[in-house]
Homo-oligomer: A and B are copies of this chain.
Amino acid sequence: MPSHGRRPSIGRVAELAGVSPTTVSHTLNGRRPVSAATRKRVLEAIELLGYRPNALARGLRTSRSESIGLIIPDITNPFYPMLARGLQDVLGPAGYHEIISNTDGDRALERSAVEQMIVRQVDGIAFAVFHTHAEDLLPAIDVGVPVVRLGGRLVQEGVDLVHSDDEGGAAEATRYLLDQGYDRIGFVCGPRAEGPAAERVAGYLSALAERGVAADPELIAHTRFSRAGGDDGTERLLALPRPPRAVVCANDVMAIGALDAARRRGLDVPGELAIMGFDDIEAATLVSPRLTTMANPARKIGQACGRLLLDRLSGALTGPATETVVPARLVRRQSA
């Protein structure tokens, strides 16, 4: 084990092994042949000194940092850790590390996060914020850093897009209910159908249309994106003269609220009211009955993003921005 003082440099290794720094460099990253004898001496010297390369120096020289920036609202929201993991699934083995920046959805923070990533010379950026204006990404594009936007629907020049199939997923959920003979199906939606929720209503509507079931506007309850909101919205639907016997909710948290409403009314789920959620959060398996839901493929989205970034970095993918849609998956449990 090495002593103290400054960490040993490639030069000291070279010295000890009696070769040039060039040779040490090459035995380390094999860009040119090194004789077995030399390699052995170098490796021994490395071992002896406890030498480790300096990624900063290497990055400065090669102008690649082998790190990618992940800009998200809040790592505390369970969707994002999954995303991060997916990214790491593909980027990790390729030698990249992730630098994560939380913005709390604050526009100023988002912009400064992009700046920071450029300063830190990241090789790519994964940007997972819904409500940003396209121009916030311009600095990165300008500098030539590949950017992938996660979620949202904003198509932007120079920015690849990856998102889940919210519309298709909601359609599938609705079809699943339709297939079981329900014909009056409610939808518990957010205040104004913003973001993914808009797509999800669209999917609900299209599934209905596709099966020739008339959509009844009364059956769409606008409410808050929360457990209490899901409760209220469901309550309102249930109070209708001709209440639905099945509801699909814009997300799992609202579906858990729907469960509350059913319980309060003494309704058996799914016997008297079938409930479907969306996202498949951890709590979906923790409530009773367990939630039947559409899994929001966060990890898969992260993986797709990683692959995209890798392809851009290697030059395997060039040309205009692409759009990747990752399907949501039906998870049958007990509530529907």
Which A residues are closer than 8 A to B by beta carbons? 1-2, 4, 7, 50, 52-57, 59-60, 65, 67, 74-76, 78, 80-82, 84-85, 88, 97-102, 115-116, 118-121, 138-139, 142-144, 227, 253, 256, 260, 263, 282-283, 286-288
A226 vs B229: C-alpha distance when bound (angstroms)? 30
A53 partner, pick from B67, B97, B119, beta carbons under 8 A: B119
Most buried by B among A7, A55, A59, A99: A55
A57 vs B57: C-alpha distance when bound (angstroms)? 7
**Given A2-B142, A60-B60, A99-B99; A282-B52 close (CB under 8 Å):** no
**Given A97-B120, A102-B85, A102-B88; A56-B54 close (CB under 8 Å):** no
Minimum distance in angstroms from A153 CB to a CB of chain B: 26
- Asked if residues A76 and B67 are in contact (CB atoms below 8 Å), the reply is no
Minimum distance in angstroms from A109 CB to a CB of chain B: 10
- Asked if residues A286 and B256 are in contact (CB atoms below 8 Å), the reply is yes
Minimum distance in angstroms from A264 CB to a CB of chain B: 10
Given A75-B85, A76-B85, A78-B282, 20 extra CB contacts under 8 A: A2-B142, A4-B144, A7-B143, A52-B115, A54-B119, A54-B121, A55-B121, A56-B56, A56-B59, A67-B99, A67-B120, A76-B82, A80-B81, A85-B102, A88-B102, A97-B99, A97-B101, A263-B288, A282-B282, A282-B283
Q: List 20 A-B contacts (CB under 8 A).
A: A1-B142, A2-B142, A7-B143, A52-B115, A52-B119, A52-B143, A53-B119, A54-B60, A56-B120, A57-B60, A60-B60, A74-B85, A75-B84, A78-B81, A97-B116, A98-B99, A263-B288, A282-B283, A283-B286, A286-B286
A106 vs B75: C-alpha distance when bound (angstroms)? 23
Minimum distance in angstroms from A6 CB to a CB of chain B: 8
- Asked if residues A286 and B56 are in contact (CB atoms below 8 Å), the reply is no
A121 partner, pick from B56, B99, B116, B263, beta carbons under 8 A: B56
Residues of B within 8 A of A55 (CB): 119-121
Residue of B nearest to A109 (CB): B92
Minimum distance in angstroms from A21 CB to a CB of chain B: 16
Residues of B within 8 A of A97 (CB): 99-101, 116, 120
- Asked if residues B142 and A50 are in contact (CB atoms below 8 Å), the reply is yes
- Asked if residues B256 and A118 are in contact (CB atoms below 8 Å), the reply is no
Residues of B within 8 A of A54 (CB): 60, 119, 121
Residues of B within 8 A of A102 (CB): 85, 88
A67 vs B102: C-alpha distance when bound (angstroms)? 15
